[in-house]
Amino acid sequence: MSDIQYDLEMDTQGLMCPEPIMMLHGKVREMDSGQVLKVIATDPATTRDIPQFCRMLNHELVAEDHTDKLFVYYIRKR
C-alpha cells in the first residue's frame, strides 16, 4: 500500500469518533480537486465512517488498509 501517491497526510491516531471525521471535513475543505489525502487512524469506527463520508460527499476512496490497530485510507477529493 505504500506505493500509492498522495498529496497530504492527516494523522488521527488516538482520536475517537467523531474527531477523525470532523478533522477530515476541515482538511478536505483546504484541498484542491484531484488531490489525494492519506488518513491514518486507530479508531475502528473509521471503517464505517470514512467510506460513508466519501459516499455522501462524492469523494473517491482510492484505497484502504487495515491491521488490528491501524487503519489507513487514501481519499481523492472530487
pLDDT tens digits, residue range 11-58?
999 999 999 999 999 999 999 999 999 999 999 999 999 999 999 999
Whether 54 is catalytic is: no
Q: Is the pLDDT score of 1 beyond 70? A: no
Reported residue count of the chain is 78
* pTM for the model: 0.94
What the chain holds in terms of domains, given with CATH numbers, is: 8-76 (3.30.110.40)
What secondary structure does DSSP assign to 49-77, as a single string? HHHHHHHHHT-EEEEEEE-SS-EEEEEE-
Catalytic residue among 15, 17, 40, 62: 17
